[in-house]
Structure 1
Amino acid sequence: MQRFERPDRPGPGFRCFVLLLIASAYSQASIKAQDALKDRVDQLIERLGSEDDAQAAKAQEALIKLGDKILPLLPASGNSAGSERAGKRLQEIRKSLDGAGNRSTGAAKVNLTGESLRLSDVMKALQRQTGNTLIDLREQNGQVATNPSIALDLKDRPFLEALDEIAEKAGLSLNYYNAEGAIGYLEGAAMMPDAAKPAPQEKYVAYVDAFRIALNQLLVSRDFATGASTANLRMEFVWEPRLRPLAMKLDTSKIEARDDKGRKITASVSGESMELAIRPENPIVDLNLNLSAPPRDAAKIESLSIETELTLPTKTLSLAVPDITKQDSKAEMGQASMRILEFEADPPVWKVRAELTTPRPAGAENLDSYRESGLAPTVALTKADSARIPLNGGFSVGPGNGPGKLVYELLFVDITGRPEDHGLVVEIPGELKTVPVRWTFQAIPLP
């Protein structure tokens, strides 16, 4: 008769199973913490509209104590909290947290830690924590929208750095040209069937505040007829989508460069001020820079420092209504206002007509008429989980019922869920400033 004995202690298989359970629980801790914070904020916001002033004041104090990490979780406008009383308290909260409508050019910070975080949860958390919009472009480009698990240890990591790491670990490529005021993501070529992985290349990427600059190409040409030599550098300048700059200038006299022999490298046209074409809805601009090429005995550009100036909204007026289907629902902030005139659903299109009053922002007098056209409001649908859906079907504008009023007809296409579960948020530039951005690349090999 065969005898079975129970082991005195668990075997290796059991121990592995326990470790997997622990890792799985730990991996979701960061995401669950964010969800718990949002639930807490939502509960306190509901109490802001209480007729009991003591209860409302206590909720306001509790929200302020939670700190500036709750700013992305607050309603974009006081009216979305349910009452005028709540709206005033929300404005006081924003002022106390020193974030009332401000668009800091400092990098938005990301905190995500776990051994097995689902990509969908990661992307939602990124948007909640930073206010930047991300769009999954895989299905509309014929790709399978997989949901892999990745390990992350991101603590106060700048948004664009964090996004690069997430994209690399999830096998994604990033698309900055989707014209929706967002960063899109696709399946990376190396992850697609039968795609050969490219050989690893040295990357020249600089992260400065809320900006990412990548040097993608360096070409050297030598004209044997004239003896002129030129080094052409092609760069991508990316910003966090929440910023939406309007103008960018590059003064070639501020370029500092030397080769590995210590010799100075100058711009081909020194003292020139280049104005670059920017489309605020695309968070990227291409930089094409010509330098005098170093002599042939130089092996690399030892150091290259470049400075640009960006004109962008540093303060915004945010207007939001919680339900796009409610006619005559309103939102106000200062001299800016929004009113829902009409909603119509004709699947797959949702049409929202809204009347906006948009004051001219401080600093707009320094923009020419072409650049000033970029001051159009930013529009998005909002969901209960704080996710934003950018305007994706276009819009038209006509005169409103009164001076300074315009009527926008907004089209949203292929939106999932019920219309009444979606709000509308409109962000209007409130103040413009020009800020310098300077970066440096080191040890760039010459071809």
Structure 2
Amino acid sequence: MIQVLGRRLGARLGNGFKFFILLLAGFLGIEDHTSFRGWAQEKPLASEPEAIPAAGTPTPETPSPAVTPSAVPPTQADAALVRKWVRQLEANQLIDRDTAERKLVEMGSSILPDLPAVTPRTSGELKIRLERIRTALQGVEVESFFKASRVTLRGAYSVGDALKQISEQTQNPIELQGEGEGRQVELTCDGVTFWEAVEQVMQQAKLRIRSFSTTEDLLVLGVRGNLEAEDSEDSGVRVQPFQTGPFRIDALSTRTSLPLGGGADGMLEFSFLVSWEPRLKPIFMRVPRKSLQGTAGEATELQAANPAAAPEFSLNLGGCSTQVDVQLQRPPRSERSLSNVQGEFVMAVPGERHQYIFKNFANGTRQTEKFGDVTVTLEGARRNGAVHEMRLMVQFGDSQGALDSFRGWIMSNEAYLLDANEQRQENVGLQTYATQPNAAGIAYLFQINGDPDDYRLVYESPAAITQQTVQYQLRDIPLP
């Protein structure tokens, strides 16, 4: 019996306890205590948990035999390594803690969902290190997020099949409206960007972007011109679109105006369409006019008509494009084209989504969960007539201006209940009860049958908001 006890406790408490068991066996006069010495050299039983290395002991950098990459799928092996290095973040030796932090960062942003959440029970140093790791990985994720998706596709395809292949390779949903799905196109895409691949299909199949045809986050294409006339040219003048990363800019129109009876010099209004890969799902866009400038003809410089303005556009209404109208100084009548127009815009894009989960809220106890740059606090849960009211305060470390009152995107974040059978119950109403520069308080109403503590409240929100500045330049734009 002592042997069994020694095996089980020794596997958990290490070599010091094994030595103590040997002394205890000798004191009790157990003759076969040599078996304890043999046991001291054995590995833990297969049915027992793997012993945790003593503090300060260098941890092997390869997975343990139980979770080698060849024995389990890579995702499980990665999760096991994450747990291993997270445990080492609390090692006694500083060098071991630093090594674990470095190893977790080196594993890349794909491990973000496997990192443990910071709770009130998390130790101070572990909290700091986890937040530092998460910040570093989110930075890497954001950098890769704003790179263009790539497409490899060669040969003859129908338009429908080509768009399906492009969508599957880039995770960007595409919808074709109207006829033209069976039209044949010949593609030569060798690792080209998403928009370059789409452009090949659009040019051969005579398609255009339909910017206001959906409330979903997808690219909608429709027919332009006459599909029956193979060699016909589309009416009008086409300006070469500008593409950078996951963004595309198309010139739409130019128009000059001259006020009558006043001293104003008039202005040139230039309209263009900004499109993005649907996977981005941006929240809003800001267009600072101070960066806007153009050139008419060879050397006539045109400045923004209102350089102090910086209009903003809400982008959470669906689709993957928006029209922008800017105003420049009116060029001389003798000029027939703009040799270039350049400027910049700023996109605010949400990061990875996280589930903030609250339990045992029937007594109204205040609960807080922090993940990434966002802290969600359940400030209270109480019965309000026939419904239960759950008050959530959502605070961003830096909201990048995305919580201004006119931007209702945060109201589209999901909040729902899960019962003991994991059945989802939606809220029956919501309203804001507090607004701050970087925070918003939202009250959700639920109809609960039975004990509220039989449910879990789940709130889903991006863990960070990132701004990306995009510079653009369009060339050879005809003037009216």
Q: How many residues align?
A: 302
1:110 matches 2:146: no
- The Cα shift of 1:286 comes to 1.1
Q: Cα distance, 1:204 vs. partner?
A: 3.8
Secondary structure of 2:202's partner?
A: helix
User: Partner residue of 1:170?
Assistant: 205
SS in 1 for 2:74: helix
Q: Could you state the TM-score of these two structures normalised by the residue count of structure 1? A: 0.56
| SS in structure 2 at match of 1:265 | strand
| TM-aligned CA distance change 1:189 to 1:445, over 3 Å | closer
Q: Which runs of structure 2 are paired with 1:137-152 in the superposition (5 Å)?
A: 137-138=177-178, 143=179, 146-152=181-187
Change (3 A) 1:280 1:106: farther
Residues 239 and 475, structure 2, Cα contact 8 Å, conserved in 1:
no
User: Could you give the per-residue CA deviations for residues 295-316 of structure 1, whole angstroms, max 9, x where no partner exists?
Assistant: 2333332332111112122x21
Amino acid at match of 1:299: R
Q: Residue 182 of structure 1 contacts residue 282 of structure 1 at CA under 8 Å; is this kept in 2?
A: yes
Amino acid across the alignment from 2:152: N
Q: Is the 8 A contact 1:310 1:434 kept in 2?
A: yes
Change (3 A) 1:133 1:374: farther
Question: Partner residue of 1:133?
Answer: 173
Q: Which range moved further: 212-221 or 127-136?
A: 127-136
Deviation at 1:255, TM superposition (A): 1.5
Distance 1:259 1:406 in 2: 55
Alignment of 1:207-356 (within 5 A): 207-227=243-263, 228-313=265-350, 315-317=351-353
Aligned partner letter, 1:245: P
How far apart are the structure 2 equivalents of 1:295 and 1:60?
65
The 3-state SS of whatever aligns with 1:191 is coil
CA contact 2:285–2:312 (8 Å) conserved in 1 = yes
Give the match's secondary structure for 1:132.
Answer: coil
2:182 maps to amino acid: N
User: Structure 2: which 5+ runs fail to align?
Assistant: 1-64, 79-107, 115-132, 356-369, 375-391, 415-425, 431-440, 447-458
Q: 224, 233, 242: which is aligned to 1:206?
A: 242
Higher relative contact order (CA 8 A, sep 6+): 1
Question: Does the 8 A contact of 2:185 with 2:205 survive in 1?
Answer: yes
Alignment partners' CA distance in 2, 1:119 and 1:59: 36
The offset of 1:266, in angstroms, is 1.6
Tell me by how many angstroms 1:165 deviates.
1.6
1:361 touches 1:429 (CA, 8 Å); kept in 2? Answer: no
* CA shift for structure 1 position 244: 1.6
| Contact 2:316–2:409 (Cα < 8 Å) also in 1 | no
Query: Contact (CA 8 Å) 2:226, 2:232: kept in 1 or not?
Result: yes
Structure having the higher strand fraction is 1
Report how far residue 108 of structure 1 moved.
1.2
Provide the rounded CA distance (Å) in 1 between the counterparts of 2:207 and 2:223.
5
Deviation at 1:373, TM superposition (A): 2.6
What's the offset of the Cα at 1:189? 3.9
Q: Deviations over 1:319-375 (max 9, x none)?
A: 8xxxxxxxxxxxxx9699xxxxxxxxxxxxxxxxxxxx9975553373213325356
Computing the radius of gyration over CA atoms, which structure comes out larger, 1 or 2? Answer: 2
Q: Which residue of 2 aligns with 1:347?
A: none
d(CA) in 2 for partners of 1:365 and 1:295? 40
Asked if structure 2 preserves the Cα contact closer than 8 Å seen for 1:231 and 1:293, the reply is: yes
Other-structure match for 2:438: none
TM-score by length of 2: 0.52
Residue 259 of structure 1 aligns with an amino acid whose one-letter code is A
User: Is 1:245–1:280's contact at 8 Å kept on the other side of the alignment?
Assistant: no
CA RMSD between the two structures: 4.5
- Give yes or no for contact 2:158–2:181 (8 Å, CA) kept in 1: no
Q: Distance in 2 between matches of 1:194 and 1:397?
A: 55
What is the CA distance between 1:434 and its match in structure 2?
A: 1.6
Q: Is the 8 A contact 2:239 2:476 kept in 1?
A: no
Alpha carbons 2:400, 2:466 under 8 Å: kept: no
- Contact conserved, 2:297 with 2:335, CA < 8 A, in 1? yes
